[in-house]
Amino acid sequence: MAADELPAGIGTASEALRPMLRRDVASAALGMVVHLDEPGRAVVSMIVRADMVNGFGITHGGLVFALADTAFAIACNEDENTTVAQGADISFLASTRPGQRLTATAERRVRRGRTGLYDITVVDETGATVAEVRGRSFTKNGS
Amino acid sequence: MAADELPAGIGTASEALRPMLRRDVASAALGMVVHLDEPGRAVVSMIVRADMVNGFGITHGGLVFALADTAFAIACNEDENTTVAQGADISFLASTRPGQRLTATAERRVRRGRTGLYDITVVDETGATVAEVRGRSFTKNGS
Amino acid sequence: MAADELPAGIGTASEALRPMLRRDVASAALGMVVHLDEPGRAVVSMIVRADMVNGFGITHGGLVFALADTAFAIACNEDENTTVAQGADISFLASTRPGQRLTATAERRVRRGRTGLYDITVVDETGATVAEVRGRSFTKNGS
Amino acid sequence: MAADELPAGIGTASEALRPMLRRDVASAALGMVVHLDEPGRAVVSMIVRADMVNGFGITHGGLVFALADTAFAIACNEDENTTVAQGADISFLASTRPGQRLTATAERRVRRGRTGLYDITVVDETGATVAEVRGRSFTKNGS
């Protein structure tokens, strides 16, 4: 396993095993892999499994969101303070199926005081956009 | 198992095993149970498992969203047409932990032409609100 | 002028001229009238003027939003603390034209800690829904 | 008046007086000026007037939204088809006061089929971000 393809449950590429990510068992259980972890920026991918489809046979929207949410959480925890998701909006643009690889790239759009906005784009293995998410963060112990 | 507590992957209470829900393997894999399935209204619950927590030890936001999204999908597929989620906005109001039961109640707010809006409230076992979701739907083959 | 139809710039029906509303010159300039002002609930209306249409000849979406935003501001300032809008999402469901009366009804959906969510429905004079807004509030000096 | 500073009600810089914009009397009444009008991209500014403040003495959120909405409308009407706003989400990041110049820059984020997403950033005269809007468009007569 390459250094840039650590499971979300085990570690990250850019820092020495941040405790937050080491313990993200949900992301690990969903097979997410962290490719990039920088302040304000993160890339996480996941291969859609057969047990991830909804009643229409396509990837469950909740799991597309979960992938984006993990990338968001990594990107918005930029420093020693705890930053939580206040909310997020997702637009679904295309459906995917088992076997496809989804990659979520989160980038800080703006941070002002304790509030932050992050854009998370989810693409498939061809680079086509599957979903766009805008996350709203709130930093707990700082300004 | 009571008639009103069928897993999302097996069937629903109010109708004779709608194909859409019988095949929702993602919701079934997450342990979701459908309690109500009426046109414009749905109730789905899930017990938070140990493998559903994020790096902060609380329920992964993506899985809270997934629960709401399943309730939304059931509520918005009100007739013989296929209705898909265009998008949704979630606000996170409180965190939860393994062992807690989350219940999502989806209700149609308005439907106009092929567009619909649905409110989905997620509460914990005490009735306290955990998250609020507004889903946007688009009906494919009808008006 | 009936007691329940005071301009937004002059006063409100339920309280003795709350300073916040007396000074809302923007809402007054747009012809808004406050019909109800209770903690967590507000009703505000506006007649669409000829100078409120966009390039398609229909009511400018920004002014539909402005009406909802005023109702939201009144509803979410429930006590002696200052509560501000963090953000809001609007879905446009139908277009309107000059001469029509738009009425926005704001209702608290949930308030938890310093965060609040309010639903604002904008209808025309026939009661048909024109827009749905969900507002997110933050209370500055309280808990 | 420079060619790149035509009022929204009179014309635009990049095209020969597109009918849609010539008739946008609402934007003109609010003093908006269009600086850029390209497919998928628009820049519009407005100076906050004394009659644009709310009860807190700051720019009414509805008018900040209206500025962004006009930029969004110009950017998303990229071709001969009519494209309408389905909805939009705004996050308020800072307050402004009369005399300040607000500038909204809209950019297409993604367009897929008849659906589009546009990011609109509103800054003050110092370049500080005042609000972030994500607009959702729907194209009526095309694909």
* Residue matched to tokens 């949900």: A26
CA atoms within 13 A on the CB side of D6: 18
| Opening angle at CA B136, ends B130 and B142, nearest 5 | 140
Question: C23 to chain B, minimum CA–CA distance in Å?
Answer: 31
The ranges assigned to domains in chain C are 6-139
B87, closest residue in chain D (CA to CA): D136
pLDDT value at D139 more than 80: yes
Average model confidence (pLDDT) for chain C?
A: 88
Helix (H, G, I), strand (E, B) or coil at A68: helix
Which chain C residues have any C-beta within 8 angstroms of a chain A C-beta?
A: 86-87, 89, 115, 136
Decide if D91 and A115 are in contact by the 8 Å CB cutoff: yes
CA A11 to chain centre: 14
Mean pLDDT, residues C2-12: 51
Spell out which chain D residues touch chain C, with contact meaning CB-CB distance below 8 angstroms: 18-27, 29, 50-57, 59-63, 65-70, 73, 82, 84-92
User: Min CA distance, D87 vs chain B (Å)?
Assistant: 10
**For position A1, what pLDDT does the model report?**
40
D139 three-class SS: strand
Cβ-based contacts under 8 A for chains C and D: 134
ipTM, two decimals: 0.89
- Predicted pLDDT of residue C143: 44
The full DSSP string for D46-103 is: EEPPGGGB-TTSSB-HHHHHHHHHHHHHHHH--SSS-EEEEEEEEEE-----TTPEEE
**What's the rounded Cα separation, in Å, for the pair C129 and D7?**
32
> For position B23, what pLDDT does the model report?
79
Average pLDDT over residues A69-77: 96
**pLDDT by residue (tens digit) across D7-50?**
665 444 445 446 666 679 999 999 999 999 999 999 999 999 99
pLDDT value of residue A143:
45
Question: How many angstroms separate the CA atoms of D24 and D30, rounded?
Answer: 10
Q: Tens digits of per-residue pLDDT, C34-78?
A: 999 999 999 999 999 999 999 889 999 999 999 999 999 999 999
A6-139, what's its fold?
A: Thiol Ester Dehydrase; Chain A (3.10.129)
More confident residue, D8 or C99: C99
Along the 143 residues of chain B, how does pLDDT read in single tens digits? Answer: 344 555 665 444 445 446 666 679 999 999 999 999 999 999 999 999 999 999 889 999 999 999 999 999 999 999 888 999 999 999 999 999 999 999 999 999 999 999 999 999 999 999 999 999 999 999 987 54
Residue B141: its pLDDT value, please? 73
pLDDT for the residue C4: 52
List the single residue in A25, A54, A87 with the smallest CB-CB distance to B53: A25
Whether C91 sits inside 8 A of B115 (CB atoms) is yes
Q: What's the mean pLDDT in D117-122? A: 98
Report residue A141's pLDDT band, with 50, 70 and 90 as the boundaries. confident
The closest of C65, C17, C62, C19 to C44, measured between CA atoms, is: C65
What pLDDT, on the 0 to 100 scale, is given for residue A12? 45
Determine the pLDDT at residue C21: 64
Question: What pLDDT score was predicted for residue B21?
Answer: 64
Lowest average pLDDT, out of C131-135, C138-142, D72-76, goes to C138-142
**Mean pLDDT of chain D, nearest integer:** 88
